[in-house]
Structure 1
């Protein structure tokens, strides 16, 4: 087996709101059907599903690696009421990170790696 990609299925409590959230975060939406969308930006792709298991959503974490953490923070700040909770840039030993809560409770680690 030689994998070429891996894609996550992210749950949503409110499918329309979650779509708006990810579009405002800078991802392009491509509907698959009325229960599933593909979101992409560059080579990064994930599925958003019109389904939510709350325990799964609240324990789901993803790391999105970016080139410019300051640009990511500006993007998040521009999203207004679509963003419920985030922590500003924090310095870690491995780089800088913004912790962003998604609409269903999923946690994004938006990261600029050191070096």
Structure 2
């Protein structure tokens, strides 16, 4: 079996709020159905679903690899009107990471890996 892609389905406590959040974060929304939206940025995709399970959402961790963590941080601190939380950028031996909890409790580890 040769895999060429993998896409996660992210739950949403409030589907409309989550759609707005991901658009504000910089993802393009593509309509799929009344209960499912496809988001993309570059060659990266994920689905947002009109489904919520608190245990699943609170244990969902996604890693988003970025080229410039400071640009990502500026985007995150500019998000207004969403029930989110985030931590400052942390230095790790392998790179930098910004922890962002989305409006449904999902955790995004926004990461800039060290080069070389």
Confirm or deny a common fold (TM above 0.5).
yes
Structure 1: runs of 5+ lacking an equivalent: none
Structure 2: runs of 5+ lacking an equivalent: none
Deviations 1:28-57 (A, max 9, x none): 001100000000000110000000111000
Following superposition, the deviation at residue 110 of structure 1 comes to: 0.2
SS of residue paired to 2:67? coil
Runs of 4+ in structure 1 displaced over 3 angstroms?
none
What is the correspondence of 1:14-25 to structure 2 with a 5 Å cutoff? 14-25=14-25
1:83–1:74: structure 2 CA closer, same or farther, 3 Å change rule? farther
- TM-score normalised by L of structure 2: 0.96
Q: How many residues align?
A: 115
